[in-house]
A and B are shown apart, each in its own frame.
Chain A
Amino acid sequence: MPSDLREQVRRALEHPHLSAALTRFSEDYRTSRARAYEGVDFEALRERIAARKADAAQRLDELAARFAAAASARGAQVTRLHTPAEVRDYILGVARRHGARLVVKSKSMATEEIHLNATLEQAGIEVKETDLGEWIVQLARQRPSHMVLPAIHLTRDDVAELFSREVGERLQAEIPRLVQVAREQLREKFLRAEIGITGANIAVAETGSLVICTNEGNARLVATLPPVHIAVVGVEKLVERLEDIEPILAALPRSATAQRITSYVSILTGPAEAAGGGAQEMHIILYDRGRMEMARDPLFRQALQCIRCASCLNVCPVYRLVGGHVFGKVYTGAIGTVLTACIDGVAEARGLEQLCIECGACRDVCPAKIDLPELILEVRRRAAGTAARPLAARAAFSIVSNRRAFHALLRAASLAQKPLADGPFLRHLPMWLTEAGKNRRLPALASVPLRDRFPRLPQPRSERRVAFFAGCLIDFVYPEIGEAVVRILNRAGIEVVFAEKQTCCGAPAHFSGLPEAAAANARDNVEAFSGAGYEAVISACPTCTAALCTDAPRALRQQGEHDLAGRAEHLAAKTVDFSTFIRRLVEEGAMRMPAGASQPPLTYHDSCHLKRTLHAEQPPRQLLRGAGYELREMQESDVCCGMGGSYSLKIPEVSSAMLARKLRMIAATEAEGVALDCPGCLMQIRGGCAAADAPVRVHHTAEWLASLLEATD
């Protein structure tokens, strides 16, 4: 992570109200968005949007030409421009022809992208943003920190200060009064401006129509009052048919502001009558910088589906802490990282791509069904491929991807830490782990890893056999989780096999943007589990499960190893997470969980990969309840705890802030224990509880269940 970005992160976290305001917003958003989508089949809706937009993205040239023909036939002057300079020059040309001295604008990300305002001002033309948030940001000489709520980082006091300076009068920080001031100040500009500039939310190829949504009503004034209207529209806004706007109009307001529809939707098809009589002069600039390259890229093409609702910002646990001035450039948050990389180049997105913790929350809510975490990983891969910086990371992964060397290193570390270990927690950490232990105590490596304990576990011989995939954390740090899994499976009459040659699942390399290293792990694991004789491969780590199920086959295929990829798919089909497998056994009647009299109340933390990749958030809850535990749901149980694998090492400040919040949510339930299904989350949350002296026991679901077996044994 570049040091200046690191510094910005630190400053954002220290900001007196930024995180608080954004966090309140994201909390409210969660419920208000859900309410706005009540009665709507979101999956079907986003399927439609994704299909229409994906189709459009594949033939932007054709649709742009059809749009131009249709809009021209209606009297608009349509031009297709490629670079920011071309757009700026075109607009300056129109302004000069009309002797324009004042331009009013409604919100347009495309004009933000080309820094139009500065150009116009340098040419002696006054520019007024008219969207309230944009105007505030313009007065503050900043850039928007959020695509829908540009001034969300500013308070009413900030706004009162800015407006007071603008009107030369001391204004109180009363919001209705400030809004009234904006109305009065800008009304005069609307009426006086010679040119109005808008963006567009959608452009319809077959009719040449532009669709513009606002709540304030500024866009229709910008498009109506001045004699000249210029619309600057990114080509990605194109859809083919008029009916394609329906699903977008249904989703955009719901996802953006939790409204069923914005107050105003204007559909402009060629110039209408000008406010002063006669036909208005209408220019439409179809702007395609970076977009055509995206359209040719099989992966990044997806990002052209974006409808700019900003829901990926609203649910992002990192954005809510640091805001869009840190997490983004012109475009912010998850989609901002991808668009920055595509439009301004991967170098511009370096660092941003590391801010993403890969929790997957944005993928779940994206109304255009963009796989944002995957696209950000791709940005990371490309950044890693071009930068000198990740040499250290490459060196580290060259060890992780060499099973023998990696395991030898872990064993050595387990011995080396001996004088430093403080009970189950490390007081001081070896090597690269040092900076991670600030607000979280890190566990000691187990003195005997699971792989060495396994042969000594007393197991019944059985017809039914499963293999256990341990993963590094369970193997070397929390072997007791593995032992709990074995006890429970044994109870169901199942024998558990440990494949000696298994190694890291590949997730750390995958999430670090190093696909070759991930493929090397996948290769070792496919070989390790090539033996037959077991019905399933059980993992008690959702990240490992997801890595084996989805990432490993893909990584091998991408390396051109198709035979191995086929075998990896075979392994994937047999691999299942612990709780899902046990629930299946319970349903089959193969086992019954003994329910103790009264178990302590627990709260359940949803791990990102278990909930959003494996969609298995119910089985552990059902098992725990079935075993007699009272479950007290915490608020935002599925928001990432901040672990994110090596994320907690790379950006410990953000990780700690996420952890602190998770601990508050846990404490608020007054539960005596936390159950979770991921050893990574366990490391994070147990370490956080220990550092905070919180009297909460944190265990894997397998351990909570196994403890009942012991009670009845």
Chain B
Amino acid sequence: MPGSGCSLNYGVESATLVSDPMLEKFRQNAEAAGAETVTARSADAALAAIARVLKQEGVGEGGRTAVWADGPLRATFHPEILAQMLPGVLLDVTRESAAAAHAGITEFDWGAAATGTLLQDASAAAQRLASALPPVHVALLRADRIAEDIGAALRRFEPARAPFLALVTGPSRTADIERVLTIGVHGPRRLVIVLYEPETGHAL
């Protein structure tokens, strides 16, 4: 949507999860790049998916925390519900809270199917802190926000309005020692992408 910058149009009708070939392609390629993908049929289901990942990772136990940077899905839930559903999750994302967190949750604006890439206007520092510092990254993406490839997805943004555009494909990786692929060097070792169907007309 040229001219609208990063104020994305969230009113678009969503495609159905299972039958969308673009979504399938995105999942395949994201997984090939080392990400995990989960689909959720509603915002509530997305929340439950996040809760499962955080539980697996022990967030909420023994002082282990996660941070969730501001985003449209987060905004649909009352902070008290979030605190109840997701123990250990902090909504105030700072250098300190993100550096101490075990997991970071951020919401992406677009996906690129051809490479399984997530794209986000990460101009707010919280987005970058939550996605880059913790060892586990939970990325949320609306299932109807998947473009064919990076080029098509990039055209949804206007750089002049988004000083920091972040493209993320799979977890952090290196092959700098004897070319042995090793996951999780400076960024997350685990990337879980939760693809959810927005409930149009609900709670927005």
Binding site for B on A (CB under 8 A): 21, 25, 28, 74, 130-133, 136, 149-152, 154-156, 159, 175-176, 178-179, 182-183, 186-187, 190-191, 204, 207, 209, 215-218, 220-221, 223-225, 242-243, 246, 249, 257, 260-277
Contacts and interface: CB of A to CB of B under 8 A. Distances in A.
Contacts of B125: 224, 272-277
Nearest to A157: B178
Nearest to B137: A217
A240 to B, nearest CB: 14
A246 B112 CA distance: 13
A108 to B, nearest CB: 16
Contact of A182 (B117, B154, B185): B185
A179 B177 contact: yes
Interface string B98-139: 010000000000000011010000111100110011000000
Contact of B176 (A150, A204, A260, A269): A150
B151 A243 contact: yes
A-B pairs, 6 with minimum CB distance: A217-B187, A133-B176, A272-B164, A265-B167, A267-B165, A272-B163
Contacts of A187: 99, 186
B60 to A, nearest CB: 23
B171 interface: yes
B169 A216 contact: no
A246 B150 CA distance: 8
B40 interface: no
Given A207-B159, A266-B166, A273-B123, 15 more contacts: A25-B179, A179-B182, A183-B185, A186-B186, A215-B172, A215-B174, A216-B172, A220-B166, A225-B95, A242-B159, A246-B150, A263-B171, A264-B172, A269-B159, A270-B163
Contacts of B163: 74, 268-272
A266 B132 CA distance: 12
17 contacts: A150-B176, A151-B177, A178-B177, A209-B159, A215-B174, A216-B174, A217-B188, A218-B185, A224-B164, A260-B33, A261-B115, A263-B170, A264-B187, A267-B165, A272-B122, A272-B164, A276-B95
B87 interface: no
Nearest to A29: B179
Contacts of A261: 33, 115, 117, 150, 167, 169
Nearest to B187: A217
Nearest to A243: B151
Contacts of A242: 154, 159
B164 A136 contact: no
B154 A220 contact: no
A215 B133 CA distance: 14
Contacts of B203: none
B51 interface: no
B9 to A, nearest CB: 21
Contact of B123 (A209, A264, A272): A272
Contacts of A265: 117, 150, 166-167, 169
A508 to B, nearest CB: 38
A221 B115 CA distance: 23
B132 A224 contact: yes
A139 to B, nearest CB: 12
Contacts of A155: 178
Given A136-B177, A179-B177, A267 B167 contact: yes
A218 B186 contact: yes
A59 to B, nearest CB: 21
B180 interface: yes
A132 B184 CA distance: 12
B75 interface: no
A217 B177 contact: no
B127 to A, nearest CB: 9
B182 A217 contact: no
Given A136-B177, A175-B177, A267-B159, A217 B129 contact: no
B41 interface: no
A596 to B, nearest CB: 47
Given A273-B123, A273-B124, A132 B177 contact: yes
A149 B176 contact: yes
A264 B128 CA distance: 12
B99 A191 contact: yes
Interface centre among A152, A183, A242, A261 (most CB of B within 10 A): A261
A262 B128 contact: no
B176 A136 contact: yes
A275 B129 contact: yes
Contacts of B175: 149, 215, 257
Nearest to A151: B176
A179 B117 CA distance: 24
Contact of B178 (A175, A267, A268): A175
B166 A264 contact: yes
B162 interface: yes
Contacts of A268: 163-165
B168 interface: yes
B173 interface: yes
B160 interface: yes
Nearest to B121: A272
Nearest to B129: A275
Contacts of B160: 74, 207, 269
Nearest to B29: A260
Given A25-B179, A175-B180, A217 B117 contact: no
B132 A220 contact: yes
A174 to B, nearest CB: 10
B5 to A, nearest CB: 12
A156 B180 CA distance: 10
A137 to B, nearest CB: 9
A473 to B, nearest CB: 40
A217 B159 contact: no
Nearest to B115: A261
Contacts of A190: 186
B101 to A, nearest CB: 13
Nearest to A222: B186
Contacts of A220: 128, 132, 166, 187
Contacts of B173: 215-216, 263
Contacts of A215: 172-175
Contacts of B95: 191, 225, 275-276
Contacts of B115: 260-261
Given A216-B187, A243-B151, A268-B164, A156 B176 contact: no
Contacts of B133: 221
A271 B163 CA distance: 6
B180 A183 contact: no
Nearest to A269: B159
